[in-house]
Amino acid sequence: MIIRSKAPFRVSFGGGGTDMTPYCIEYGGCVINTTIDRHVYITLKPRQDKEIHIFSINLNKEFQFKIGDRNYSTEFDLFKGVINVLEIKEGFDIIVYSELPTGSGMGGSSSLSVALIGAFNKYLNLELSKHDIAQKAYNIERIELRQKGGYQDQFAAAYGGFNFMEFIKDTKVIPINASKDMINELQFRLILCYVGGSHFSSDIQEEVLQGYDIEKKSYIEAMQDLKDVAHSMRNIVESNNLNRLNEFGELLHKGWLAKKSLSNKISNKNIENFYLTSRKLGVLGGKLLGAGGGGHLLLFSEPNQKPKVIQELEKIGGKIVNFHFNPKGLEVWEIK
């Protein structure tokens, strides 16, 4: 029996960072995000021994380890974490394929975790819900592997769709209640541009979290701004008033300024060049997706200026990614 699964990447509009502990436990966090039609795929096939063989189609590379290996300083640590936490006892061949590059800033590692857990969930009949799978993915990344970061990526990948999420002691996923016209118009005005410079988000998140202890007042103020942006964005989209969408773009800019104030590693000269170039051409706001340092820039453009913005971004080395919102989360199926 072969099991295949896929989990989507996510685009975060506002509130990113407020989903990290210890902040969200003490003050509560919230984000607004959507999944898109780009995925991580996992193929799971049993072996006759006690080894895990992983093949990455993107890297054209194979990696092997034995069941029970807890050396998390090597490649493919995420796979080891999932195998160990789920207490897998038999060997498997695992093939992984991603439709976006590593370090994209769109929650790819969590999409991988969710897809892998989802595949094992079906193969072993674990009867885990999407919420359970997301929580296990979080525990593996944050506790087992000790990687810094928040909650939103795992829950976005598992649930899918356009959601408002709240984080206190438990995670609450609330679907955005908006008309098709509003969703379509928002999607039309967005531009996704790959600017290069992939990053390991845990390193940037580590520095951001230091601000919680060292400069707590300014950190808390920036986090409150990010939460306010997320709430305002939700209100605009659920108003179904298309004339208010420009406010959404302006809020993206406000959130980006608040995010940059948390660490000087979040942006750099290359990212600023792309962002400022687009702003001169009719982009009302935008943000770098993920922790920062590189990846994808999300921009909100005036409709008539969109072709010109895309042309100029490509001229200076940007790679435009065409995408659509995706209402589906984790999907798993069997190949007999």
- The H or E element containing residue 295 is strand 295-301
Residues designated as active site: 153
Buried b (16+ CB within 10 A) or exposed e, 39-72: bbbbbbbeeeeeebbbbbeeeeeebebebebeee
- The H or E element containing residue 21 is none
**How many of the other CB atoms lie within 10 Å of CB of 335?**
10
**How many of the other CB atoms lie within 10 Å of CB of 282?**
16
The alpha carbon of 145 is separated from its chain's Cα centroid by a whole number of angstroms, namely 18
Report DSSP letters for 158-176, one per residue.
HH-SEEEEEESSSEEEEE-
Structure tokens belonging to residue 240: 């179904």
Helix, strand, coil proportions of the chain in percent (round to 5)? 45, 25, 30
Report DSSP letters for 208-266, one per residue.
HHHHHHHSHHHHHHHHHHHHHHHHHHHHHHHHT-GGGHHHHHHHHHHHHHHHHTT-TTS
- Asked if residue 255 lies in contact with residue 14, where contact means CB atoms within 8 angstroms, the answer is yes
Q: SS3 of 61, please?
A: strand
Residues in the chain: 336
Distance CA 276, CA 174 (A): 34
Which residue from 239, 234, 247, 231 is spatially nearest to 181, judged by alpha carbons?
Answer: 239
Angle between helices 108-123 and 77-85 (to 10 degrees): 40
* Cα dihedral across residues 20, 21, 27, 29: positive or negative: positive
